[in-house]
Structure 1
Amino acid sequence: MKITLRYFASVREQLGTAQESLALPEGVATVGAVRAHLTARGGVWAEALGPDRAVRTAHQQVMCGPDTVVQDGAEVAFFPPVTGG
């Protein structure tokens, strides 16, 4: 399954990228599992998305929790709890 990841505000700044495409490995089927998979990359990924970080998530542009099942071709977004504009 392939998805698009989008990063906003301070998460984007920490990671140095606004978006990427990712082919999910077997067993990564929820938004929480995607976050854990990205955190396992280590370095800035663990710093920006680790479990101790306050990060909000969205699936298909709808706020969601970690148990939300990811659909093939979906957009999953990560951003801090408060963003300005």
Structure 2
Amino acid sequence: MTFEHFRKLVDMMFVPDGAGGALQRYQEVNPRSLHPLVLAYIGDAYFHLFVRGRLLSYEQNKVQVLNQFSAQMVSAVWQDKAYHALEPMLT
């Protein structure tokens, strides 16, 4: 990503909505109309939050280690391993 593209995204994210908040570009979106990569991006973000929440129930002092471990767990490689482990249970 170029700096200009980064700057444009930041500028778009924080446009005031006139009511004290930030303008939202996509308020009503039909998930069926989204590109599969966008859905995967959202799914990965949700999964990452889920993993971080679970890890915090075991450890809260070593944040750098938790960050590295959670990043590994949500990687495509580990997701593939998890899928293959769960596949026999799927119907």
* Structure with greater Cα Rg: 2
Q: Which has the higher helix share?
A: 2
For normalisation by structure 2, the TM-score amounts to 0.22
For normalisation by structure 1, the TM-score amounts to 0.23
Q: Which has the higher strand share?
A: 1
